[in-house]
Structures are given as C-alpha cells and as structure tokens.
Amino acid sequence: MDYFNYKKKTLFAEDVDINELASKYGTPLYVYSKRTFLEHFRKIKSAFSDMDALICYSIKANSNGAILKEMAKEGSGFDIVSGGELYRALRSGVDPKKIVYAGVGKTAEEIKYAIKSGILMFNIESQEELHSINNVAKSMKRKVDVAIRINPDVDALTHAYVNTGKKESKFGIDINLAMGIYKSAQKLKHINIKGVDMHIGSQITTPIPYLNAVGKMAQFVSQLLCQGVGIEYLNIGGGLGIIYNEEKPATADIFAKAIKPHLAGFNLKLILEPGRFIIGNAGALITRITYNKKGRLKNFLIVDAGMNDLIRPALYSSYHKIIPVNIKNGSKLEVCDIVGPICESADFLGKDRHLPQMDNGELLCVRSAGAYGMAMASNYNSRPRAAEVMVDGGRHYLIRERETYEDLVSREK
C-alpha cells in the first residue's frame, strides 16, 4: 500500500502532481510520501501491540532528518550503526532510551559518544567488542546495558549480500559460542546484560527463516535463564520484505502471528528494527529522459539519474518498477533499457522494460526507492546528489537541497 497513484493520466504523490515537483525542484528528485511511511510504521506497531514492542526504525535505510523527525514524533525508536547515525538520531529529538546500537566495528570513540548520550543498549557483535565497551565504560565510571547479537545460522533466503544470519557471516556471535560470551559478560563490572539480539537479513518475504531463527533464540533464552542469566529484552532485528515487483511478502500481521507463539511464556520486551518495510515503498526517484537512443540491438532511455543516485540495480540486480509520470494514449510499447549517464555498464535502473514510446524531456518514476536509495547515493562521476522532497497531503517540502558543484569540492584542499 502506498500513495503514488495515477489521477486520470498523471502520477501523483498523495495529492501532489509529480510534474509540479519536477518543475519546481528539478530532477533527479527523491519524493517521499509521509502518509505511506507513517502507515507502514503503524501497521508494524499494531501487529505487535499486545506485546508492547519497541519499534526501532533502522536509520540506515533512509536517514533524512525530516523523516527521522516525523518517525520520532510518531513514537518510533531508532536502530543505529555508527556515530553519524547516532548524531542524526539525537538531532531528531528521539528519546535516547529508544536507541539501540548494532554494527561489527564500533570504535572506542563511537562507544564513548553512545554511552554519553544515554542510549538504551548496545548490540554486541564480538567478544572483542564486549571488552572494548567494558573498558570505555570503566574509563567513564559507568555501567552500560547490552544485548548480544546471536548468529543463529539460518539462511534468510534472500540476496547473498544481505543474508546476515548464516554461520559464515561476519555478523553476531555463533549461537554455539554465545553462552560462553554471556558468562564472561556477567563477570565484567561495567556491563549490564539486558538482552538477546538477532538480525538475519533483509528483504525477507517468507516468515519461515524468521521462525527458525526466533525458535532457536527462544531455546537459547531458556538456556540462559536456566543458567541464571537474566534477560529483559529480545530484539528480533529488521528484514521484513516489501513488494518491488511480483513478490508476495508476508504482512506484518502474518509475521507477528507466526512469531508470537515462540515467545509466549517468556516475559520479554520485544524490539524490532524495520527499515525497508517502513520507508521502501514510501519513496520514488523521479528522473527525466535526456536521450532516447536507438541502438542496433537495444533501445536505451538515457535518463538524468544514475547508479550514483540509486545503486541497488547495479549492486544487487534489484528490480524497481519504472513507470511514466504522464500516460499517453495510443503509443506502442517499446522494449528498452533505462540507463544513467555514468561511465559504467552497471549504470542501469532497469533492463528490457516495456514502456510506451517516450520522448526526450519526459519524466519517469522509479518506484520503491525510499529505502537504500538516497542513503547509498554517492558523488561518483562528480555528480551532485539529488534533492529530496516530502509530500504531506497536498503540501510538499524540500527536505534536502540538491548539491551544487561547489559542494563537490568544498572539503578539498
């Protein structure tokens, strides 16, 4: 469900004509629908409402300050993975006691910043990190709350690059070694064990891997309790998939119904870290056709957005629907590749797509680009990054200015 729909023959974001946004703010342009991401947040919140779950939106999916501010207002917490994300989270006005901090490479400096900020807890990913946190906490004369991220060795049945819960992955601590780490954590003076954490991957469309992992975690929590290790929180991570094309992902309700029986009987507070589920379909990338190039084997629509704006097709062969902003009646469908201006063959947004014949200057909309779109954008080929706009009903707000050429060199000496 989202709010990018045609009214007559024109694509709208909520009640705003996309043509109007493109003329006012230029292209390439990221457009977000506030109603869409708030509804997605509410869906997941209500699916777990009987467990009073804390939803920590995963900032890495889209970290624009205006979006974070709206999410914080709505009651969301945040999942962070760096000092930069902590900075953004705090700026949003969120209660620091709703921030959880994951990531395999937290530096001493980042740990100090997080302790000073009073976050809810760290999700620890190695024995080495556990000691590093203990040492930093000691130097600050503090005791800090932690969960340990368990690697349950479950295949999330998703793209290899976003499959994070298999034993060969760098993430978390092997479930067979985890008890030892909890025992050693118990002995550390500046560590307070609070929880158990997992995150098995991203764009997971079936609840089965989730269920396997949660089942293993539940068993592990029972063992912890038997061994006298008290646990208050269970964090089951993010990863709920969305519809890009023909996927049929389980809904938040189905995920919740499947998971809850495993958790019955443990008096645990639940934490979730959804990113894509909330913001993925709430964003679109609007791009203008520069040239319609007819090749001998292929037709190319060369557009003004490239892999520096949206790297997902190049990096994961991801599919994003691409649709015209204005529908023309009677024009034949043509098979074409939609490509950017960057000097790489990986610079494509879509391949072999059937689109009506399009002219130079016409607009296309790349759907489902809210998550890991702008967040992964770069300046490759010295391209200033795109502007971002938030739509709220009939109103629209520039939430990030387009970069300028001066911005490209502003830090250079």
Rule CB under 6 A: say whether 58 interacts with ligand LLP: yes
| Contact characters 294-333, ligand LLP, x per CB under 6 A | ------------------x---x-----------------
CB of 54 to ligand LLP, least distance (A): 13
CB of 56 to ligand LLP, least distance (A): 8
Rule CB under 6 A: say whether 202 interacts with ligand LLP: yes
Stretch that binds ligand LLP, among 83-91, 196-204, 218-226, 287-295 (CB under 6 A): 196-204
How far CA 223 is from CA of 164, 219, 251, 357, in Å, comes to 24, 6, 31, 63
Stretch that binds ligand LLP, among 113-121, 198-206, 208-216, 221-229 (CB under 6 A): 198-206
Rule CB under 6 A: say whether 191 interacts with ligand LLP: no
Rule CB under 6 A: say whether 383 interacts with ligand LLP: no
CB of 97 to ligand LLP, least distance (A): 18
Residue nearer to ligand LLP on the CB measure, 236 or 289: 236
Which residue shows structure tokens 């702008």?
A: 374
Which residue shows structure tokens 């954590």?
A: 185
Rule CB under 6 A: say whether 196 interacts with ligand LLP: no
Select from 54, 102, 185, 234 the one that contacts ligand LLP (CB under 6 A): 102
Compute the distance between CA of residue 58 and CA of residue 240 in angstroms, rounded to an integer: 12
User: What amino acid is encoded at 177 in this protein?
Assistant: L
Cα 59 from chain centre: 6
How far CA 184 is from CA of 15, 123, 130, 131, 137, in Å, comes to 56, 16, 9, 10, 16
Rule CB under 6 A: say whether 340 interacts with ligand LLP: no
Rule CB under 6 A: say whether 368 interacts with ligand LLP: no
Rule CB under 6 A: say whether 163 interacts with ligand LLP: no
Rule CB under 6 A: say whether 199 interacts with ligand LLP: yes
Residue nearer to ligand LLP on the CB measure, 12 or 164: 164
Residue nearer to ligand LLP on the CB measure, 271 or 390: 271
CB of 164 to ligand LLP, least distance (A): 6
Residue 216, C-beta contacts closer than 8 angstroms, at least 6 positions apart: 150, 152, 153, 154, 175
Residue nearer to ligand LLP on the CB measure, 371 or 386: 371
Answer yes or no: 365 catalytic. Answer: no
Name which of residues 212 to 251 contact ligand LLP (CB under 6 A): 237-240
Residue nearer to ligand LLP on the CB measure, 60 or 353: 60
Rule CB under 6 A: say whether 274 interacts with ligand LLP: yes
Residue nearer to ligand LLP on the CB measure, 35 or 320: 320
Q: Mind spelling out the 3-state secondary structure of the chain?
A: CCCEEEECCEEEECCEEHHHHHHHHCCCEEEEEHHHHHHHHHHHHHHCHHHCCEEEEEHHHCCCHHHHHHHHHCCCEEEECCHHHHHHHHHCCCCHHHEEECCCCCCHHHHHHHHHHCCCEEEECCHHHHHHHHHHHHHCCCCEEEEEEEECCCCCCCCHHHECCCCCCCCCEECCCHHHHHHHHHCCCCEEEEEEECCCECCECCHHHHHHHHHHHHHHHHHHHHCCCCCCEEECCCCECCCCCCCCCCCHHHHHHHHHHHHCCCCCEEEECCCHHHHHHHEEEEEEEEEEEECCCCEEEEECCCCCCCCHHHHHCCCCCEEECECCCCCCEEEEEEECCCCCCCCEEEEEEEEECCCCCCEEEECCCCCCCHHHCCCHHHCCCCEEEEEECCEEEEEECCCCHHHHHCCCC
Select from 275, 283, 306, 350 the one that contacts ligand LLP (CB under 6 A): 275
Please work out the total of residues on this chain that contact ligand LLP, with binding judged by CB under 6 A: 22
Hey, how many other C-beta atoms are within 10 angstroms of the C-beta on 186? Answer: 14
Stretch that binds ligand LLP, among 56-64, 130-138, 173-181, 347-355 (CB under 6 A): 56-64
CB of 372 to ligand LLP, least distance (A): 3
Rule CB under 6 A: say whether 43 interacts with ligand LLP: no
Residue nearer to ligand LLP on the CB measure, 276 or 353: 276
Residue nearer to ligand LLP on the CB measure, 102 or 250: 102
Query: Which of these is catalytic: 56, 336, 343, 365?
Result: 343
Active site residues: 343
Residues that bind ligand LLP (CB under 6 A): 58, 60-61, 79, 102, 162, 199, 202-203, 237-240, 273-277, 312, 316, 371-372
